[in-house]
Amino acid sequence: MQKPPALVLPPPGSVSMRIKSANANTGERLSQTKSMVIPDLDTPSKPINRHRRNQSQHNVGQGLQQFQPVDFQGEYLNKAKISDGGKKLRKNWTTCWVVLCSNELHFYKEQKQEELAKLKPGGKTDGVDLCDAVIEWTTEKSSRKNVFQITTRSGDEFLLQSDDYATISKWHDAIKRAVGRLSSGDARPGTGKATLVRSNSTECLPRRGYDSTKIKAKEPKPEHRRSIMFKLNYSASDSADKNGVKNRLKKFISRRPSMKTLQEKGLIKDCVFGCHMLTLCQREGTTVPRFVQMCVTEVEKRGLEADGIYRVSGNLSTIQKLRFLVDQEETLNLGDSQWEDIHVITGALKMFFRELPEPLFPFRFFDLFVEAIKTKEQKQKIQSLKKLVHQLPKPNHNTMKLLFHHLQRVLTKSRQNLMSSQGVSIVFGPTLMWPELDAGNMAVNMVYQNQIVEFLLLECVEIFGPEDK
């Protein structure tokens, strides 16, 4: 009788092997059982599922029960939030401590804040929900290198960056894996809910207790529907309404009284500012507007030695207040304390000349004065300008004569007020004359304007004659 072959014990931790008996006449196989394998005492044994069908049926349940959030070790990264719910934000890079926790990305100003959050859970932290988020590298959103973008389903957009490519690449891959795990149907920690996906369909099957309204698209509100229908109805009848509006406007304009009728009835009064020079003087019965006379008198009384007179601007709100009182033809006293700043009075005088419908040098005389100032011979230039000045309408001539004699007295105090003839001409050149059509070169016209005013100022007595007493 032969002895059966001795059993050879495999080394610890090895896989069990099937051994065929030497005297198996009928083809019977002897399988080595699990008890015949000596397990490795150092490594824990894992349960073996011998049936694939059973294993596939229990995988989902085990995944839900054994799912544990895997935290990614925190690290300092550069972060910038560029969109909040689809609204673009100004990009502002900050360095913060970033921690990846299964389905969320948490941002802390310092590493200590993360430790405090662990000691006191439930506090508010700056986090990003990674469910259905999109992770992608970008070179267009920032000039920095190694930048990737996180776009959440709520429309928030974040940029993460690090100068070390290995570091930022590690975070990019980890966040992308977390997003992929969430979108593959794994349970979100803390919710106890999961979504199953059919193997042959993209349709999601919610489990019991899951609020299916969260995954449905929002339906338009009834108010929104009504506003759309209103717009459709309005656009359909728009052409018919336009004809009716036009007819009503024509009737209203035809019945509207003219400006002349309103002025005759006293309902509308001509203002001082913006009124034509000839019209204003006829209304006041003078050849020089009263407001111009008042301003000149007040400046000569207490402002000839003021630093930068006519060059320094006064307070605009106070100037507008003075203008309103003048237009209302109320009793005006420029010596009142509210007009204590002399630059307010000079500013109002310059505004009066700027707002004339036709400048103090009438439009038809603009080119004539420019040609006269181009004359090289001094006496001939004086005679040409003198002839043009005496051709001006009387209100323009008399107002101009009063103003230039006044400005000449300003120059006599040039040591105190620091105003030269050139400085005065720069201020009053574009204030007293401008072309009717800006067809020429504005810079060239301004040069001629300043030259004309300066020459009239220097030759004031010769051109205008002595001042009227």
Angle at 53 between CA 48 and CA 54, to 5 degrees: 55
Q: Provide the greatest CA pair distance for the chain.
A: 162
Pairwise CA distance, residues 324 & 274, whole Å: 12
Those residues whose C-beta lies under 8 Å from the C-beta of residue 413, and which sit 6 or more positions away, are 304, 305
Q: Is 99 left (phi over 0), alpha (psi -120 to 50) or beta?
A: beta
Instruction: Give the single-character DSSP code of 377.
Output: S
Q: Cβ distance 278 to 385 under 8 Å?
A: no
Model pLDDT, residue 244? 79
DSSP codes joined into one string, 118-143? HHSTT---EEEE-TT-EEEE-SSS-S
Tokens matching residue 315: 């307070």
Q: Assess contact for 90 and 101: CB atoms under 8 A.
A: no
- Determine the Cα–Cα distance for residues 455 and 469; give it in Å rounded to an integer: 24
Task: For helices 394-412 and 378-390, give the axis angle rounded to 10 degrees.
Answer: 130
Domain boundaries, the chain: 70-110+124-182, 277-464
CA atoms of 142 and 161, how far apart (whole Å): 10
Chain mean position to CA 124: 30
Find where tokens 């019945």 sit: 255
70-110+124-182 shares its CATH topology with 277-464: no
**DSSP assignment, residue 219?**
P
Cβ proximity of 160 and 147 under 8 Å: yes
Strand partners, 17: none
Rounded distance, CA 92 to CA 106, Å? 18
Per-residue pLDDT at 126: 72
| Phi, psi dihedral angles at 136 (to 5 degrees) | -155, 145
Give the end-to-end CA distance of the chain in Å, rounded to a whole number.
162
Provide the pLDDT for residue 192: 41
Residue with tokens 């419908």: 357
What pLDDT, on a 0 to 100 scale, did the predictor assign at position 196? 41
* CATH 2.30.29.30 is right for the domain spanning 70-110+124-182: yes
Q: pLDDT tens string for the chain (469 positions)?
A: 444 555 445 455 444 444 444 444 444 444 444 444 444 444 444 444 444 444 444 443 444 333 344 446 688 889 988 888 878 888 888 898 888 887 788 888 887 777 666 656 655 567 788 888 888 998 888 888 889 999 988 888 989 899 888 888 888 888 888 888 877 655 444 444 444 434 444 444 444 444 444 444 444 444 454 454 445 454 545 556 667 788 888 777 777 777 667 666 666 667 899 999 999 999 999 999 999 999 999 999 999 999 999 999 999 999 999 999 998 877 889 989 999 999 999 999 999 999 999 999 999 999 999 999 999 999 999 999 999 999 999 999 999 999 999 999 999 999 999 999 999 999 999 999 999 887 667 888 889 999 999 999 999 999 998 887 6
Other Cβ atoms closer than 10 A to 157: 20
Residue with tokens 């939030």: 81
The count of other CB atoms within 10 Å of the CB of residue 375 is 14
Give the integer Cα–Cα distance in Å for 83 and 459: 68
Query: H helices of 25-151, where?
Result: 52-66, 111-119
Q: Which of 361, 449, 458 is nearest to 400 (CA)?
A: 361
Reported pTM: 0.47
Q: Measure the CA–CA gap between 374 and 455, rounded to whole angstroms.
A: 11
Q: Tell which residue, 393, 408, 412, 414, has the closest CA to residue 455.
A: 408
Task: Look up the CATH architecture of domain 277-464.
Answer: Orthogonal Bundle (1.10)
d(CA 274, CA 267): 18
**Triad 154, 156, 160: Cα angle to 5°:** 140
Rounded to 5°, angle at Cα 419 from 416 and 422: 155
Q: How far is CA 237 from CA 98, 226, 229, 242, 246, in A?
A: 59, 17, 12, 9, 15
